[in-house]
Chain A
Amino acid sequence: MTSVPARLTVLVGDDEPLIREVLCELLEREPDVDVVAVARDAEEAILLAELHTPAVAILDMRMPGGGVHAAREIRERSPGTRIMAFSAYGDIGSVEEMRRAGVTDYLLKGLPNTEIVAAVRRLGARA
């Protein structure tokens, strides 16, 4: 008897099409990762997270509606979803703002792809 390997479900929320596309492509190349939802703004991310309850939500902090708002709502509506902030900003203020919203995992845009995948896996393992 073979067991079905656990799938890692991911929501991608980013208003930049180029980022969305390449992030989805990067993650879907992983055999055990499924990108179950793609959102262009905070409201869409909240609705899709509630609908799909992904293991991990990768949220751009500056997408329309605000990544911090999306993070708060998703934590409320899909408590099992682990949230990863994805931002071009690495300053203390941004990190602190996200921490107050309950987001403890933060990924700086521009890191190597391998680190992005590794971070998603680490987070998914805690989901």
Chain B
Amino acid sequence: MPVLVPMPVVVPGDVLAVRSWGMPDSTFDDHGLPRAQPRPLGLPGHAETDLQLLIQSVVDYSIFMLDVEGYVVSWNTGAERIKRYSAKEIIGKHFSVFYPPEDNAAGKPRRELEIAVAEGRLEDEGWRVRGDGTRFWANVVITALFDETGQLRGFGKVTRDMTERRSAERALDERGRLLAHLVRAQELERRRIAWDVHDDTIQSMVAVGMRLQLMAGQLPAEHLPALNRLTDTVNTAVDRLRDLTFRLRPPGIDRDGLVEGLTGHLGQVAGEAGLTYTLEHRLDREPPPETAIVIFRICQEAVSNVRKHARASTVTVSLTSADQGVLARVVDDGVGIPQGIDSLVRNDHFGLIEMRERAETAGGWWTVRGRPGMGTTVEFWVPALPHTGD
């Protein structure tokens, strides 16, 4: 059975005296809190006083008591700050004044007390009304307080203002939707560019290359060196364009999942570059599709950098669920990076900038570290919470 703790109980004034808990009015201050004085409670006098002081001083929580009918009988600094009533204004009033009209019309205050009595406590989250008429998003816990004989003595009510957190969550949710749109738009655009390059540019260049080779058999020998150089140039351009389309093309993770998509990518890229690769994954669950694409694209860019610049023999990619997101590392054993990597990220290294922007746009972070001759580590974290309402 819940035990009645020494809570500040009080009602100053004649009208409210009928709702007092049997303590003389002179014992209470302006906040309705007992003045420090010896009382026959279960705690030593100083502990009780300390506890009252604590309750009174807490500003982040509105902590107050209701009598058995729901009238306010005590108030603290947090309550004054959050609900914007002074103790004098609110003590003696029914707690239904904190509820919006629609909740009162629906009988919510009374119902909440009934539930608290039946179940010992009630927790609710919803809009509440301040003394100045504004609303705030509240987390409310109502605890029914019974004395040693099992008789209901009132209710303890603890309220937190969650407005800022709710706004932040909604902003995150909104951000999630925006990210999803952004990622989808990026992927569509990449796909379009990949097809355009493949279907148009590469085909033309290939045809030119084939034609040049045919011409080589018809031209006088003195023109052959120049023609061969042209052919080589065209072939190199075709290789670069093919590499571009490869990097732009859809990763296929919507079909196979992040780990499979990344495994396939690493298999191809590392194989071509003569790199030994390892993919370690400890994921609790598959990230949302847009997050998976963000992770894939950052890893893709990091591995591309390893291939182009690191002169490494091994690359290890690890994916780990952490802090409601995915922590990823791409580690190589190559030549490392010079000091002052920040300037690289700031300046013309678009690959690095793109990686960081992708992670930060997704609400995460990205970093690169390494020393000359000691390999390079790209590390990033992105949140992987499914967003709602999309």
**Least Cβ distance of B237 to chain A in Å?**
10
Q: Within residues 270 to 295 of chain B, which ones have a CB less than 8 A from any CB in chain A?
A: none
Contact call B238/A18, Cβ cutoff below 8 A: no
Q: Which residues from A are CB-within-8-Å of B213?
A: 112-113
Q: Within residues 67 to 98 of chain A, which ones have a CB less than 8 A from any CB in chain B?
A: 88-93
Q: Which residues from A are CB-within-8-Å of B203?
A: 16, 18-19, 88, 109
Q: Is the interface of B mostly helix, strand, loop or mixed?
A: helix
A9 to B333, CA, bound (A): 52
Q: Which residues from B are CB-within-8-Å of A119?
A: none
Number of residues on chain A facing chain B (CB within 8 A)? 21
Q: Which residues from A are CB-within-8-Å of B208?
A: 18
Say yes or no: A22-B235 contact (C-beta < 8 A), given A88-B202, A90-B242, A92-B264.
Answer: no
Say yes or no: A93-B199 contact (C-beta < 8 A), given A18-B204, A18-B207, A110-B238.
Answer: no
Q: Within residues 242 to 263 of chain B, which ones have a CB less than 8 A from any CB in chain A?
A: 242, 245-246, 249, 252
Contact call B239/A25, Cβ cutoff below 8 A: no
Q: Which residues from A are CB-within-8-Å of B267?
A: 92
Q: Which residues from A are CB-within-8-Å of B264?
A: 92-93
Residue of A nearest to B202 (CB): A88
Residue of A nearest to B204 (CB): A18
A57 to B264, CA, bound (A): 30
Contact call A110/B268, Cβ cutoff below 8 A: no
Say yes or no: A19-B245 contact (C-beta < 8 A), given A89-B198, A113-B214.
Answer: no
Residue of A nearest to B246 (CB): A91
Residue of B nearest to A114 (CB): B213
Residue of A nearest to B205 (CB): A110
B210 within 8 A of A: yes
Contact call B268/A91, Cβ cutoff below 8 A: yes
A26 within 8 A of B: yes
Contact call B268/A19, Cβ cutoff below 8 A: no
Residue of A nearest to B199 (CB): A62
Contact call A22/B214, Cβ cutoff below 8 A: yes
B209 within 8 A of A: yes
**Which A residues lie at the B interface, using CB under 8 A?**
16, 18-19, 21-23, 25-26, 29, 62, 88-93, 109-110, 112-113, 116
Please name 24 pairs of A and B residues whose Cβ atoms are closer than 8 Å in the assembled complex, sorted by A.
Answer: A18-B203, A18-B207, A19-B203, A19-B206, A22-B207, A23-B210, A29-B214, A62-B198, A88-B198, A88-B202, A88-B203, A88-B242, A88-B245, A89-B198, A89-B242, A90-B242, A92-B264, A92-B267, A109-B206, A110-B205, A110-B206, A110-B238, A110-B242, A113-B210
